[in-house]
């Protein structure tokens, strides 16, 4: 990272469902080109927060801008500036690989020529040239996820939101997926990613750890490990995630 | 006692075998793990063992009964947690659990002890629709549902995918307690730190079992020299190593890089010297003992390369 431009700015962002507060007044910034790890226990509020940041869910209170746009009234602009991979799978199972690519490229307004070029480029990069006419449902999960990521950034967005992109993916493919992330970050794309694999937390420039709707810690992995006197991010996470229950 | 006895089991979808000619045994009270990439055939195997799918060839005995002929007997005594959600998204958390208990003529109260560790974490939300739970909370509910009738054999297909690090630890402590009560457990997982907690593990790839052994046996059988490299610029170092002429494999590993070299008697000083001469200045190199994740990645890669 060679600049300090902020591409995500959040202050006191809150979301309630009835009386229950899923996201409780969180504040943080993300810088351009940063790989930002958004960690937290199950139900901590990660997906809910992401949905607010990408304009799918309206906040109850607080402020947030993404790529300079306000989440309250500029969600259309936000959607054009970001790519999103949801926690559940985001490609069409009954379409072929090539059909999925051109479908998404079409949504984002690419021309036919651009679509053809992008499709060839992508298939080549992912080593899927011989499978272009296979149905998505016949692909192993790891390949689907790599393809889903590439499709999510097909319109060259400045920020990619990835909600548990490597959940259930085998150790080798998981690492190949992170190579794609690194490559995107090298090209100045900002990556906002959640994961439950704590070794992946180490691959992030900074990570935040959410507990019960609040951000309890936010720093580089090295600083967090020294602050919590832990050898691994796994230990840091374990110290924080059940913090509130230990107190009781 | 042998709880699962599989001989020559094959299942084809069309012409392509999902599993081919599998044979293995699982003993009573054992935690038996299956590790392998997605599409390796784990789910197909689990569905046959739980009487939900018919094999094309071979046979499988569970609790001494045949999975094809005695499916009615077996269904009452097996617990199965499929990888994809098996919950009723419109029912509440508690209604889901009640429903599964009632199918098996039991009640939540009767077996509460069995599920307490996991269920208590989502119990505060018992009136919430299952569809409104977070991903990991759904996994916890699905697991509670698979356990509520106190099965003799529990078959868990990636139960901890999407589950956070703390809950995974608690989950495995719970599996240990179930094991102590004599429940046999077959489980698949993408987390290698869980593989080490199994009594035995089978590595499965492309429908075949490559290896079955204890975690210790698998790790101690590994003969290659593994290096841990810590570098200031991890990404550049990885890029460099990937194109290095002696590289066998290069993987990021938490805050370091794990590297296998094709040369046999290489020591860490020689490697360091070589890296420095190629412009990777700021790094530390050490020989380390391989962990289970290193071994599995190496086996999986070898098998992939052979094909
Ligand atoms: N529509 C909804 N109605 C009621 N509660 C909701 C709704 N959506 C989410 N929640 C609750 O908000 C909390 C946060 O959920 P969220 O999905 O954001 O968690 P998460 O951090 O993404 O967890 P995971 O790691 O398991 O994916 C949970 O308690 C969840 O049940
Ligand atoms: Mg989530």
Indicate whether B80 belongs to any domain. yes
Q: Check: CB of residue B134 under 8 Å from CB of residue A43.
A: yes
* Residue B39, φ and ψ in degrees, nearest 5: 85, 5
Does B59 map to a domain? yes
| DSSP string covering A52-65 | HHTTSS--SEEEEE
- B188 and B74 share a domain? yes
* Distance from the alpha carbon of residue A44 to the mean position of ligand 2, in angstroms: 8
Question: What pLDDT is attached to residue B265?
Answer: 84
> Which residue is closest in CA terms to ligand 1's atom 24?
A42
Looking at the structure, do residues B186 and B238 belong to the same domain, yes or no?
A: no
User: Which of B202, B219, B236 finishes a domain?
Assistant: B219
Overall number of domains in chain B: 2
307 residues of chain B, pLDDT tens digit each: 899 999 999 999 888 889 999 999 999 999 999 998 877 899 999 999 999 999 999 999 999 999 999 999 999 899 999 877 678 989 999 999 999 999 888 999 999 998 988 899 899 999 999 989 888 888 889 989 999 999 999 999 999 988 899 889 888 988 998 899 899 999 999 999 999 999 999 999 989 999 999 999 999 989 888 999 998 888 888 888 999 889 999 999 988 999 999 988 888 888 888 888 888 878 899 999 999 999 999 988 887 766 5
Q: What is the pLDDT of residue A3?
A: 67
* Number of neighbouring beta carbons within 10 Å of residue B252: 21
**What average pLDDT score do residues A126-144 get?**
87
Cβ B204 vs Cβ B210: under 8 Å: yes
B59 with B71, same domain: the answer is yes
Same domain as B110, residue B32: yes
B177 in the same domain as B79: yes
Provide the domain limits for residue B248.
223-289
Give contacts of A179 with chain B, Cβ < 8 Å.
238
| Cα(B284) to centroid(ligand 2), Å | 37
For the cut 70, the answer to whether the pLDDT of residue A1 exceeds it is no
Sign (positive/negative) of CA torsion B277, B279, B282, B284?
negative
**Is A171 close to B297, i.e. CB distance below 8 A?**
yes
Same domain? B206 vs B278:
no
Together in a domain, B167 and B260: no
- Indicate the residue of B37, B165, B254 with minimum beta-carbon distance to A140: B37
Q: How far apart are CA B279 and CA B57, in angstroms?
A: 57
CATH number, domain with residue B184? 3.40.50.300
Give the C-alpha separation, A217 to A86, whole Å: 24
- Chain A residues in contact with B307 (beta carbon < 8 A): none
Shared domain for B77 and B195, answered yes or no, is yes
CA distance B13 to B20: 11
**What is the ipTM, given to two decimal places?**
0.86
Nearest CB to A241 within list B36, B139, B164: B164
Residues A234, A198: contact at Cβ < 8 Å? yes
User: What is the pLDDT averaged over residues A195-203?
Assistant: 95
**For residues B107 and B93, what is the distance between their CA atoms, to the nearest angstrom?**
15
Parse chain A into domains and list their residue ranges.
6-247
Ligand nearest to the CA of B126: 1
Q: Which of B163, B252, B297 is nearest residue A196 as measured by Cβ atoms?
A: B163
Final residue before a domain boundary, out of B167, B196, B219: B219
Nearest to B258 by CA among B230, B224, B278: B230
Walk across the sheet containing B283-288 and list its strands.
B247-253, B256-261, B226-231, B283-288
pLDDT at A247: 35
A170/B252 CB distance under 8 A: no
Report the residue of B125, B189, B252 to disrupt the A interface, i.e. the one with the largest count of A CBs within 10 Å: B252
Q: CATH number of the domain that B279 lies in?
A: 3.30.70.100
* Contact (Cβ atoms closer than 8 angstroms) between residue B47 and residue B78: no
Q: Which ligand 1 atom sits nearest the alpha carbon of residue A48?
A: 18
CA of A161 to the centre of ligand 1 (A): 17
pLDDT in tens, A158-193: 999 999 999 888 899 899 999 899 989 988 899 999
Contact B190 A168 (CB under 8 A): yes
Specify the pLDDT at position A246: 42
Give, using CA atoms, the residue closest to atom 7 of ligand 1.
B132
Measure the CA–CA gap between A148 and A165, rounded to whole angstroms: 9
Answer yes or no: is the C-beta of A37 below 6 A from any ligand 1 atom. Answer: no
Residue after which a domain boundary falls, among B180, B204, B219: B219
Say yes or no: B113 and B6 in one domain: yes
In degrees rounded to 5, what are phi and psi of residue B87?
Answer: -95, 160
In a domain, B241, yes or no: yes
Give the residue carrying structure tokens 């969180």: A26
In Å, what is the CA distance from B213 to each residue of B10, B195, B209, B223?
22, 11, 11, 16
For residue A48, the CA-to-ligand 1 centroid distance in Å is 6
Mutate: best of A2, A19, A42, partner B, most B CBs <10 A: A42
∠A110-A112-A113 over CA atoms, to 5°?
100
- From the CA of A44, the nearest ligand is 1
User: Is there a contact between A164 and B191 if contact means CB atoms under 8 Å apart?
Assistant: no
Q: Are residues B187 and B228 in the same domain?
A: no
Sign, CA dihedral A66-A71-A77-A79, equals: positive
- From the list A43, A182, A198, the residue facing B165 with the nearest CB is A198
Fold of A6-247: Rossmann fold (3.40.50)
| Residue B306, in any domain of the structure | no
Q: Which residues of A touch B164 (CB under 8 A)?
A: 40-42, 44, 196, 237, 241
Output the pTM of the full model. Answer: 0.91
B-chain residues near A17 (CB < 8 A): 132
Binding-site residues on chain A for chain B (CB distance < 8 A): 17, 40-44, 46-47, 87-88, 140-142, 164, 167-175, 178-179, 182, 186, 196-199, 202-203, 221-222, 232-234, 237-238, 241-242
Q: Inter-chain contact B300–A170, Cβ cutoff 8 Å?
A: yes
Q: In whole angstroms, what is the distance from residue B9 CA to residue A153 CA?
A: 43
* Mean per-residue pLDDT over chain B, rounded: 91
B206 to chain A: closest CA residue: A140
My answer on whether B109 and B31 are in the same domain is yes
Q: Residue A217: CB partners within 8 Å, gap ≥ 6?
A: A208, A209, A224, A227, A228, A236, A240
Q: What's the confidence (pLDDT) of residue B124?
A: 94
Residues B93 and B191 in one domain: yes
């Amino acid at each position: 990272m060679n600049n300090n431009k902020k591409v995500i700015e959040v202050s006191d962002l809150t979301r309630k469902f009835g009386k229950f507060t899923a996201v409780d007044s969180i504040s943080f910034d993300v810088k351009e080109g940063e790989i930002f790890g958004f960690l937290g226990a199950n139900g901590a509020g990660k997906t809910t927060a992401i949905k607010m940041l990408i304009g799918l869910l309206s906040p109850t209170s607080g402020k947030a801008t993404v790529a300079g746009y306000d989440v309250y009234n500029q969600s259309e602009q936000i959607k054009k500036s970001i790519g999103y991979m949801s926690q559940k799978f985001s490609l069409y199972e009954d379409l072929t690989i090539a059909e999925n690519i051109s479908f998404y490229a079409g949504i984002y307004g690419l021309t036919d020529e651009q679509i053809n070029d992008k499709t060839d480029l992508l298939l080549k990069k992912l080593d899927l040239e011989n499978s272009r006419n296979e149905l998505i449902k016949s692909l192993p999960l790891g390949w689907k996820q790599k393809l889903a990521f590439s499709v999510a950034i097909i319109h060259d967005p400045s920020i990619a939101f990835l909600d548990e992109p490597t959940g259930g993916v085998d150790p080798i493919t998981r690492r190949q997926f992170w190579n794609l992330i690194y490559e995107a970050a090298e090209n100045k794309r900002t990556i906002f990613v959640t994961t439950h694999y704590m070794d992946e937390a180490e691959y992030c420039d900074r990570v935040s750890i959410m507990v019960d709707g609040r951000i309890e810690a936010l720093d580089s992995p090295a600083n967090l490990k020294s602050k919590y006197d832990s050898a691994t991010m796994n230990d840091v996470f374990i110290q924080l995630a059940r913090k509130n229950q230990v107190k009781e | 006692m042998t709880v699962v006895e599989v001989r020559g089991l094959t299942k084809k979808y069309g012409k392509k075998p999902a599993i081919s000619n599998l044979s293995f045994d699982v003993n009573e009270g054992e935690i038996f793990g299956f590790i392998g990439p997605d599409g390796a055939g784990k789910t197909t195997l689990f569905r046959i063992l739980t009487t939900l799918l018919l094999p094309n060839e071979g046979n499988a005995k569970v609790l001494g009964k045949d999975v094809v002929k005695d499916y009615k007997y077996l269904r009452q005594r097996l617990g199965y947690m499929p990888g994809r959600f098996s919950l009723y998204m419109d029912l509440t958390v508690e209604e889901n659990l009640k429903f599964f208990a009632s199918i098996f003529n039991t009640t939540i109260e009767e077996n509460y002890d069995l599920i307490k560790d996991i269920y208590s974490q989502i119990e505060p939300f018992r009136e919430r629709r299952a569809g409104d739970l977070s991903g990991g909370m759904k996994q916890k509910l699905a697991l509670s549902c698979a356990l509520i009738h106190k099965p003799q054999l529990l078959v868990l297909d990636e139960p901890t995918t999407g589950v956070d690090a703390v809950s995974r630890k608690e989950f495995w402590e719970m599996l240990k307690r179930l094991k102590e009560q004599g429940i046999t457990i077959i489980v698949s997982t993408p987390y290698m730190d869980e593989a080490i907690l199994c009594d035995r593990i089978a590595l499965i790839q492309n429908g075949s079992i490559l290896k079955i052994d204890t975690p210790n046996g698998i790790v101690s059988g590994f003969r290659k020299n593994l290096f841990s490299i810590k570098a200031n610029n991890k990404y550049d170092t990885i890029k460099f190593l990937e194109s290095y002429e002696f590289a066998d494999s290069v993987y990021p590993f938490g805050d370091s890089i794990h590297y296998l070299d094709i040369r046999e008697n290489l020591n860490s000083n020689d490697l360091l010297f070589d890296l420095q001469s190629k412009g990777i200045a700021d790094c530390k190199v050490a020989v380390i003992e391989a962990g289970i994740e290193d071994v599995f990645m190496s086996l999986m890669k070898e098998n992939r390369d052979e094909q």
